[in-house]
Structure formats: structure tokens, C-alpha cells
A = this chain, B = another copy of it.
């Protein structure tokens, strides 16, 4: 080993010991002819002293050292002079009086500062990621990610799960997100798909009787660009046999409890609260509500039916909903502030956001004239409006109205500083199994999701009201993951397919090897997938998942460091029996 210690461990108890350290020059300072170097490695910083009165030869060598040069130094651990201690560093009471210096490598001036409070553009940081990652705060994030991965693996192993690697080269299945495809060189005209998730393979492991599976795999999706989307991401992937929804939920709550204890040293209360999809939407306007603050909606459709306000009435008449949010104490909002709110609503699909201010016991707004005194009274009661409140309304079909006002709620929560610093986990459950797209029913999740037992009877008669055995786990307004109990019996699968206008035989053709496997004794099973990137980011208190990925891509799915994706050349294409067809498409 080229060192006896790291730069993060020497203290007063090591005084007089001869040590060898390796690391990078964080700073070099010259004080009255003595050179002080802060030597940095992953473990910390140690002050290294080159004193000509101690060792002239080494001092003269130290004179030329530059930032980020790589050194090996040997010397004695000494107490720093009184008053020169640095209480911020673990090693702040000592320094090394250097007797030997070896320059392991020189360095050009780094294009970004190796400082935690770095101000640099994203593409610069990504291009020089190997320098960006030298910053202690970045290293801490990667080590924190490792802690989470490791604790996750410990937890599942303790619970009799087997970690099993599923393939990276797979077959496409229809639907779902777009998948990457890689041409086969040895099988001209054929390709492998890259997995968007191990879904089918983990279900096959249940058919194989492995009983409890987990994996922390890379998943890949060739989707359209979006700022917070990475074409590759990491999942905590879980599947269990002979279980119902609550078994999976209990297991995942146990995981988070274990993670909080192990990596944050915090007690996380369980069980998590639960909201149905319907309640989450109609109270918070989101299927991943942030429960760190209130501002719950009220459904005022029934009251509003008796108003003369056309927008509300026509929504209500078309089977839509009118939701009202009471922004407590926001009655003093300026016209600009109100317009900002309306704008948010519009950007999220609403025609507009209606508002009323509460002045004493009276409602004021440009639309109150359409609301009779009786209607106003009912409104005030229902929404518990008080002097100085601001009522905000959205009217449209259920999901659209709820979602738009949900975004307004988030805005108000932030604006009024209502968001508490706490961890609010919850389960959102009972999602609708189907949604109607152009008169046809389509699966909201995937066709293997099991309907709620009590809704099985409605499959043929009222599919729109059939709920699935589905659950999302949500933290502070972010979806960490979701899952479902899967259909394991042919009779149920056939009925679910029929609603989608597909015979079982057609489904068999499409999902051939999975449905074929199910013939030979599939157990009841279900699972969940959690986003590791998002989980790590949230538990680190960060919003951007790129901060917890070693080599992430930018918003254009490019890596400014290695320059991928790269241009094809003829040799590569020939090898794969492919030609470009770009001109035509552009």
C-alpha cells in the first residue's frame, strides 16, 4: 500500500507517529516561507507542512506544487501550534511535518473548482464529471446511495428473498414504454430488446416457485426527452408469491423503516396512511399527494348546481366536478398573484381558475353575482371559509379538474410556507383498472393487474368502476414506486382481456411465453418496483436525481463526458447488417 493512513483519520492520539499519506492538493499556502498543503482524499483533509527549517530539500520541492497534484508524503504527526487548530476538521488539531515528498502526478488547472459550493453549468459539470465527483458533497451522495442499496439487500435477504439477475437482452412485449433495441450481429435481421423492467421475468420466477424475489436492476427506456427523465435508471424490484396487497405493503413499509433506521438513524412510524385513488384525487388533486400540508379540496358540485355560473353549471351537467380549495388567509393576494394562480391552472389543463375572496362573511369576486345568497352560504359552510380566506375553484371532468387544482394547491402550499419539514409516506390504492380512450377500454397499468375481488362482478357490466389491486407508495408528493397483485388464473385473465376487446387467444399470441408459463401452475403473486434514484435523492433531501447518479445524462440524453450517443460508421453498420435511414426521416 502506498500509504499508512488516509487523510481523514489522524488525530491527537497519533502524535509523533511516522505516517505516509496520499492525496490531492486542495490548497497550497505560503506563510513566511513555510508551505502548507491541505491534502485531500475521499476520507478527509490533512494539513501537510513543508518547513525549510525542518527539511530544506523537501521544502524546495513543495514550492512548485499546484492544485490537484497527486502527492505521497511521509512525515511525523505533530500538534498544530496553539490557535491554529481547525475545529471543523476531524484532523484539525494535527499536521504532518513532511520528511519525504513524492509527486505521484501533476495536474493541469482544473476547469471547475473542487469545492462544495460550486457554481457551474450542468453540461460543464457532466463533461468533467470525474472532477465534479471529487467534491466531498458528491462523494457523500454516492456513498449514501451505496448505503441505501446495501441496507436494501440486507433487509430482503433477512426476509428470505433471493436476489436473482434477469436478462439485459430480452424480447419486446407490446405496449408499455418504448424499449431500446440492439441488432444481433450473429443473427442478421434480428434484434434483442433491452428491458424497460424485469416485469415478465420476475413473474416467471414466481411461476418457477422462487417465492420471494428481489433485484436492483438497471432499466432502460427509449422515451422522448424530458428534463427529469434518464434513459437508464435503477429500480428496487420485488415480487412475492401467495400474497395479497397488504403483504407487499407491509414488506415495503418494513424496508423503509429499516432504511430510515440504518442510513438516517431515524424511527419511521408505520403503518403508512392510505388513500384511495379517488380520495387522493378529490382531496388533493394528485395521485401522489404531498401530505406535509393540508389545503384539502371540497367537492362543491352539488352546491354549485344551483348557481347561475355557466362554466360551473355546464361542467356539472356533463357529469363533471367542481372542486374548491380554501387558501386560508390568502384573501389579500394581489391581482398579479391571482393571475399567477390562474396561469398555473391553465398550464395544467384547466380552462381557468375561479376565485372568491372572503370579506367578513361576504364573498367577493367578479363572479359572485352568479351565486345566490343561499348558495354562497352553503359554500361558506362547506369550505369552512372565514374572513381573509381565498377560495379557488376548478371545474371540469373529474381527473382534469382535480389535477389542475392539485397543481394550484402545491403552489399555494409553497407560497404560504405551509410545507413542514417531515417525512409523509402514504399508499395510494384502488386505482381504476381501465380507462376509456376513444370509446375503447384500455388497461391503466398492464393487462396482468388483478381486479379487486369485490369488483370482479362488474367486469362485464361496468368496467369503468372496476378497481385494480394496485398500490403506489408516495413520499412528500413524489411517487417512489408502484405495484400490483397479478392475475394468475386463466379464467380471470380471459375476462379482463375481453373488456379490452381481446380474446384470451389473442393475448396468448402477444404475451406468448408468460401466458404459456401460466398454464403449468402459476401461484397467486404480486410485487412492486421502487425507483432507487428517486428514493436516494429524496432521502438525501435533493430534488434532482442526477445528483445521486455517478454518470448521468443531460436533458438531451447525451453524456457530455464520453460524447455518447455517437455517430454510426459504415463498418459498425455493415457488421450489424444495417443501414441508416435518416435522411428520409428528418
Find the B residue at minimum CB distance from A206. Answer: B130
A367 at the interface (CB under 8 A from B): no
- The answer to whether B131 touches A146 (Cβ under 8 A) is no
- The answer to whether B243 touches A1 (Cβ under 8 A) is yes
- The answer to whether B523 touches A563 (Cβ under 8 A) is no
Chain B residues, CB < 8 A from A72: 242
- The answer to whether A563 touches B193 (Cβ under 8 A) is no
Chain B residues, CB < 8 A from A157: 146, 150
- The answer to whether A244 touches B194 (Cβ under 8 A) is no
A566 contact from B3, B134, B172, Cβ within 8 A: B172
A108 to chain B, nearest CB (A): 5
Known contacts: A191-B565, A211-B41, A578-B581. The answer to whether A184 contacts B557 by CB under 8 A is yes
Find the B residue at minimum CB distance from A167. Answer: B551
- Number of identical protomers: 2
- The answer to whether B130 touches A171 (Cβ under 8 A) is no
Find the B residue at minimum CB distance from A204. Answer: B130
Known contacts: A209-B24, A211-B41. The answer to whether A130 contacts B186 by CB under 8 A is no
Chain B residues, CB < 8 A from A513: 561-563
A103 to chain B, nearest CB (A): 10
A220 at the interface (CB under 8 A from B): yes
Chain B residues, CB < 8 A from A519: 107-108
| Interface stretch of the complex, out of A88-96, A415-423, A569-577 | A569-577
| Interface stretch of the complex, out of A158-166, A291-299, A308-316 | A158-166
Chain B residues, CB < 8 A from A574: 581, 585
Q: Which of A162-198 contact B (CB under 8 A)?
A: 162-172, 178, 180-194
A120 at the interface (CB under 8 A from B): no
> Can you identify 19 A-B contacts, CB atoms within 8 angstroms?
A1-B242, A42-B211, A104-B523, A105-B523, A106-B521, A134-B208, A150-B153, A166-B550, A167-B232, A167-B551, A169-B564, A170-B559, A180-B182, A181-B572, A192-B564, A200-B562, A201-B550, A218-B218, A579-B580
Chain A interface residues (CB < 8 Å from chain B)? 1-3, 6, 22, 24, 40-43, 68-70, 72, 104-108, 110, 128-134, 139, 142-143, 145-146, 149-150, 153, 157, 162-172, 178, 180-194, 200-201, 204-205, 207-212, 218, 220, 222, 224-225, 231-232, 234, 241-244, 247, 488-489, 512-513, 517, 519-524, 549-551, 553, 556-559, 561-568, 572-582, 585-586
